[in-house]
Amino acid sequence: MSQVVRKSSAVVVRPSPEPGTTRDTIKLSCFDKGLYNMPATTLLVFEHPLHNAAETIRGALSRALAHYYPIAGRIVVVGGGGGDGDDVYIECNDEGLAFIAAHTDHALKELMCFDRSPGARKLLDELAVYYPGMSCGPGDPLLLMQVTEFSCGGFVLGVTWNHGVADGAGMGQLLQAVAELAGGLPSPSVAPVRCDGSLPRLPPSVLEAQQHLLSLDPLGDDLAILDITIPKESIDRVRADFSSSFHGQPCTTFEAALAVLWRCRTRAIRPEPETPTLLVFLADMRKHACAKEGYYGNCIVEQLVMAKSSAVAEGDVKDVVMAIRRAKNQLPDRLKKDEGVVGQQELRELRAYDTLTVTSWRNLGFDRVDFGSGRPARVTASGKDLPPSPGAVGFLCDGRGGVSVLSDLVRQEHADAFLAELAKFM
């Protein structure tokens, strides 16, 4: 692949006129605060053409911002930004977001496999706009959007946003609103809510765990970016085995896929048997926090599962599933009491490479966005946006009942061993 993507100059998109809209400042909640300089990127891959895709989406986005006007504002930080006062907030000033229309002579099929070749990786990384230094500054737009049209007629929507203004579920809600307005609805079907004073305060142990995970030494280029598909048959086999062994208890697709990845990774990197290994998965707490319907700010916590590497690598996969289920069952308590699943001393002693962070986009709504030409054929992260320490993003349907995952789970030296372990489940 030579010339990859031709991009137009960025244009500013602001809310379309909406009489009576209130402009104010919004204090970031304790769920938001640790994320206000952290970017997130999502790529939505659409196989079928949409007439004038970039202009259609840009126009609908402007109308959606009349309802989601805080996203057209800017983050303001007073002092260090880490205290309990009004030190980090969104100034709703309608400065707008950045939008880029782009074209490529490549066909979408060249992207869909997301193989390990440098050319495919370069194409994937060109499909979104990124913040300088991969960090969000106070004067930066809260949302960067790019629509890339392919020679075959398909297109990719690349969305990069400041995580402090919305989590994945919130951004999925915004994109569905844009799609509804592009389709002719006069207003979004879900009324957006950005301020929810009833949200509980997070216990110190949850905040300390978040700060620790964000401070891990980045491994960066040492990690191999792998596009993984776990077939439906493999997932069903794990789920059936778990259910038959634990008196009919159900096992979700997420639990099965996560257990397989954690076990295969641990077996591939072969740490000492007594070495602790930490699994971190992000959980949407809207239900447990009684968030208002339509709330699109952050409402996620990191849930931790720690075990000796020998228990994960050599134990049965159904026991790994059970460890994950126990952690999920403890989620409501993370908001009610200051008792961490893993102690702070244990966290401090962990190496970055012994930590695996996983985000599932399975129920965030990205895969239901339809601008008029059908839902996405694939939703994924970009290679640039993967965590600097071992992690995975995905667990979305691949169209055949399996799940797709983009990951940087292991170092280059362990990539073949990991894929060989994964093949044993296929």
**What is the pLDDT averaged over residues 378-395?**
77
**Does the annotation count 163 as an active-site position?**
yes
**What is the pLDDT averaged over residues 219-248?**
88
For residue range 26-63, list pLDDT tens digits in order: 999 999 988 999 999 999 999 999 999 999 999 999 99
**339 band by pLDDT with thresholds 50, 70 and 90:** low
Catalytic residue among 163, 227, 284, 367: 163
**What is the pLDDT averaged over residues 88-111?**
91
* pTM score, whole prediction: 0.91
What local confidence, expressed as pLDDT, does residue 268 receive?
Answer: 95
Asked whether residue 149 carries a pLDDT value surpassing 90, the answer given is yes
**Does the annotation count 370 as an active-site position?**
yes
Tokens 């362990």 correspond to 414
What local confidence, expressed as pLDDT, does residue 85 receive?
Answer: 46
Do 204-423 and 6-182 have the same topology in CATH?
yes
How far apart are alpha carbons 233 and 398 in whole angstroms? 13
User: Is 123 exposed, middle or buried (CB count within 10 Å of its CB: 0-12, 13-18, 19+)?
Assistant: buried
Catalytic residue among 94, 319, 370, 398: 370
The correct answer on CATH 3.30.930.10 for the domain covering 204-423 is no
What local confidence, expressed as pLDDT, does residue 348 receive?
Answer: 75
User: Mean pLDDT for the chain?
Assistant: 88
The tokens describing 154, both together, are 């398909």
Domain 6-182 maps to which CATH number in 3.30.559.10, 3.10.129.10, 3.40.50.2300, 3.30.1330.30?
3.30.559.10
How far apart are alpha carbons 240 and 260 in whole angstroms? 14
19: CB partners within 8 A, 6+ apart: none
What local confidence, expressed as pLDDT, does residue 1 receive?
Answer: 42
**What is the pLDDT averaged over residues 238-263?**
93
Query: Residue 298 in contact with residue 31, Cβ under 8 Å?
Result: yes
Asked whether residue 346 carries a pLDDT value surpassing 80, the answer given is no
Tokens 């402007």 correspond to 62
What local confidence, expressed as pLDDT, does residue 338 receive?
Answer: 64
Question: Which is it for the CA torsion 82, 84, 85, 91, positive or negative?
Answer: positive
Q: Write out 143-205 in H/E/C secondary structure.
A: EEEEEEECCCCCEEEEEEEECCCCCHHHHHHHHHHHHHHHCCCCCCCCCCECCCCCCCCCCHH
Query: Residue 159 in contact with residue 42, Cβ under 8 Å?
Result: yes
What local confidence, expressed as pLDDT, does residue 34 receive?
Answer: 87
Query: Residue 147 in contact with residue 155, Cβ under 8 Å?
Result: yes
Asked whether residue 83 carries a pLDDT value surpassing 70, the answer given is no
What local confidence, expressed as pLDDT, does residue 399 receive?
Answer: 58
User: Is 75 exposed, middle or buried (CB count within 10 Å of its CB: 0-12, 13-18, 19+)?
Assistant: buried
What local confidence, expressed as pLDDT, does residue 53 receive?
Answer: 96
- Chain Cα centroid distance, residue 395: 11
Domain boundaries, the chain: 6-182, 204-423
338: CB partners within 8 A, 6+ apart: 203, 204, 205
Of residues 345 and 154, the one with the higher pLDDT is 154
The tokens describing 50, both together, are 């949409």
**178 band by pLDDT with thresholds 50, 70 and 90:** very high
**What is the pLDDT averaged over residues 126-150?**
93
For residue range 136-146, list pLDDT tens digits in order: 988 999 999 99
Opening angle at CA 302, ends 297 and 305, nearest 5: 160
CB atoms within 10 A of CB 59: 16
